Amino acid sequence: MTGTKEPSFRESVDLMFNRAASLMDLPPGLEQKIRVCNATYTVRFGVRLRGEIHTFTGYRSVHSEHMEPVKGGIRYAMAVNQDEVEALAALMTYKCALVETPFGGSKGGLCIDPRQYEEHELEQITRRFAYELAKRDLINPSQNVPAPDMGTGEREMAWMADQYARMNTTDINARACVTGKPLNAGGIAGRVEATGRGVQYALREFFRHPEDIAKAGLSGKLDGKRIVVQGLGNVGYHAAKFLSEEDGAIIVGIIEWDGALYNPEGIDVEAVRQWIVKHGGVSDYPDATHSAEGAAVLEEECDILIPAALEGVINLDNADRIKAPLIIEAANGPVTAGADEVLRKKGTVIIPDMYANAGGVTVSYFEWVKNLSHIRFGRMQRRQEEARHELIVSELERLDRYLGDAWTMSPNFKSKYLKGADELELVRSGLDDTMRIAYQSMREVWHSRDDVEDLRTAAYIVAIDRVSSSYRAKGL
Ligand code: GLU
């Protein structure tokens, strides 16, 4: 994916880490301790399918155990390799520290093209992989808690959770062994949309700070901003849908595996998603111009570019042609270290991956807490909250009658105010709060230090500082 001269994904993450660490005053040796991956487990296992034994290779990498459990998704893709899972595990450590989810970083992957297998075959493969990981505590509610990533979703998480439960029949917290499960198997409302929702909340927070908007050479609000999104998978789809339907942004470009769609008037994200479900790709979609050379649309004129697919898509080959003044990294590692430097020199503002896509792990954290507490959020307080609101509303109604035409309650006030928050509303509120606070911690470093040029370096500084305090508290 990246140009020939470029370092690997893991090296790229390390280079970004080093840039930030060089601006910090870490005790000797601690910098290296934080940067390196603690361990990577490789497993090869056979599964009998269609009368033959098929061998699969999988990984689970643990980057940092300064907090446990360690956390991070499991990816199903042919390109999965050790370098990639280690880079992704490191990003999980920094991501969790930045958004204050109490986890270390981990990541897993299986070399597989899931489209080549039927559902029952995938179940067999997933259960076997989960068995291999669980027996080494690489799936465990208190040590290592996987989640969905590229190529996996609720279905795979339900299989893994069930496999763990079968192997640990007396573990009362078994459900907390993975997150991203379906609601009926111990999941939480709002987890599927969480990463895309987090991207939306991140952009909303960015656009609350005129100084930051100006740094990107933009002005005004999110409303009317032209967006190009790469990848209409779970993350890209939800981000683009929410931004266009709720914030008035205009999706002018959508890049998919079989080319890109472009329409300066705006593209209906939901319609494209339905088209992809039906036809397998974006070709022949009627309401936009299709170009077979999808990656070229990354270079189109727009206000915001959202790479939401693979790592390394913005690299030394195309960085100087990227016109978007603001990039938000919904994918992990979409901009290589080399490209990051080119873009920084151009003045492009990049909202970095470890912050931008942290909505997923944030809501995973809520799910894990829900599983450990064995109760749905809001179950105890919702009706009590409604009863207290009822008291105020009846007083206001009395006032309404008393004042006649001089004062009346606003339409919908009563029904809106009376309703106590359900789990989904609480999850969104917790996610919004997390994204706002994490952004503010990054921008404080960005604006208060002359030697910090960009949000990525600021994000690393905040994260490394937190990880290092936690190591130091352990006496390291
Ligand atoms: N795979 C997601 C990520 O890269 C989610 C991880 C999680 O929920 O643990 O952040």
- pLDDT of 304 strictly over 60: yes
Of 27-36, 315-324, 358-367, the range with the lowest mean pLDDT is: 27-36
Q: Which residue among 91, 92, 157, 235 is best mutated to probe the pocket of ligand 1, counting the most ligand atoms within 8 A of its Cβ?
A: 92
Strands laid side by side in the 144-148 sheet: 39-49, 52-64, 104-111, 70-77, 144-148
Residue 449 lies in a domain: no
Residue 183 lies in a domain: yes
* Residue 238 lies in domain: 194-358
As annotated, the active-site residues are 107
- pLDDT of 411 strictly over 90: no
Averaged pLDDT for residues 285-294: 96
Q: Are residues 118 and 51 in the same domain?
A: yes
Q: Are residues 204 and 328 in the same domain?
A: yes
Q: Which residue among 235, 364, 369 is best mutated to probe the pocket of ligand 1, counting the most ligand atoms within 8 A of its Cβ?
A: 364
Q: Are residues 129 and 219 in the same domain?
A: no
Tell me how far the alpha carbon of residue 292 lies from the centroid of ligand 1, in angstroms.
31
Q: Are residues 153 and 170 in the same domain?
A: yes
Nearest-atom index, ligand 1, CA of 332? 4
Residue 2 confidence (pLDDT): 47
Q: Which residue among 96, 144, 149 is best mutated to probe the pocket of ligand 1, counting the most ligand atoms within 8 A of its Cβ?
A: 149
Average pLDDT, the chain: 96
**Number of folded domains in the chain?**
2
Nearest-atom index, ligand 1, CA of 363? 8
CA distance 437 to 314: 28
pTM of the entire predicted model: 0.96
Among residues 171, 188, 205, the one where a domain terminates is 188
Grade residue 354 by pLDDT with cuts at 50, 70 and 90: very high
| CATH number for position 222 | 3.40.50.720
- pLDDT of 475 strictly over 90: no
Residue 189 confidence (pLDDT): 98
Nearest-atom index, ligand 1, CA of 72? 9
Q: Are residues 238 and 320 in the same domain?
A: yes
Task: Name the token pair of 152.
Answer: 């996996």
Residue 24 confidence (pLDDT): 97
Residue 263 lies in a domain: yes
Q: List Cβ neighbours of 370 (8 Å cut-off, separation of 6 or more).
A: 186, 188, 376, 377
Which class for 58: exposed (0-12), middle (13-18), buried (19 or more C-beta within 10 A)?
Answer: buried
Residue nearest to atom 8 of ligand 1 (CA): 361
Tell me how far the alpha carbon of residue 456 lies from the centroid of ligand 1, in angstroms.
19
Residue 426 lies in a domain: no
CA dist 342 to 245, 313, 320, 322, Å? 33, 14, 7, 10
Q: Are residues 44 and 121 in the same domain?
A: yes
Grade residue 476 by pLDDT with cuts at 50, 70 and 90: confident
Residue nearest to atom 7 of ligand 1 (CA): 361
Q: Are residues 110 and 70 in the same domain?
A: yes
Nearest-atom index, ligand 1, CA of 358? 10
- pLDDT of 3 strictly over 80: no
Task: Name the token pair of 227.
Answer: 């967006």
Q: Are residues 50 and 126 in the same domain?
A: yes
Q: List Cβ neighbours of 310 (8 Å cut-off, separation of 6 or more).
A: 1, 231, 331, 334
**Phi, psi (rounded to 5 degrees) for 147:** -160, 175
Tell me how far the alpha carbon of residue 404 lies from the centroid of ligand 1, in angstroms.
55
Phi-psi region of 335 (alpha: psi -120 to 50; beta: other; left: phi over 0): beta
Tell me how far the alpha carbon of residue 414 lies from the centroid of ligand 1, in angstroms.
39
Whether the CB-CB separation of 93 and 104 falls below 8 Å is answered with: yes
Among residues 331, 358, 385, the one where a domain terminates is 358
Residue 4 lies in a domain: no
Tell me how far the alpha carbon of residue 196 lies from the centroid of ligand 1, in angstroms.
12
259-262 vs 289-291, strand pairing mode? antiparallel
Residue 22 lies in a domain: no
Give the model confidence (pLDDT) of 149-182 as tens digits: 999 999 999 999 999 999 999 999 999 999 999 9
Q: Are residues 45 and 182 in the same domain?
A: yes
Q: Nearest 5°: CA angle at 339, between 343 and 329?
A: 80
Q: Are residues 139 and 178 in the same domain?
A: yes
Neighbouring C-beta atoms of residue 116, cutoff 10 Å: 9
Nearest-atom index, ligand 1, CA of 146? 9
Q: Are residues 204 and 103 in the same domain?
A: no
| CATH number for position 64 | 3.40.50.10860
Residue 373 lies in a domain: no
Residue 415 lies in a domain: no
| Contact residues of ligand 1, CB 6 A cut-off | 71-73, 147, 149, 179, 332, 357, 360-361, 364
Tell me how far the alpha carbon of residue 361 lies from the centroid of ligand 1, in angstroms.
5
Give the model confidence (pLDDT) of 237-275 as tens digits: 999 999 999 999 999 999 999 999 999 999 999 999 999
CA distance 334 to 312: 5
Residue 381 confidence (pLDDT): 93
Among residues 135, 160, 188, the one where a domain terminates is 188
Find the DSSP H helices in 22-153: 30-35, 82-98, 119-134
Q: Are residues 201 and 341 in the same domain?
A: yes
- pLDDT of 4 strictly over 80: no
CA distance 231 to 246: 20
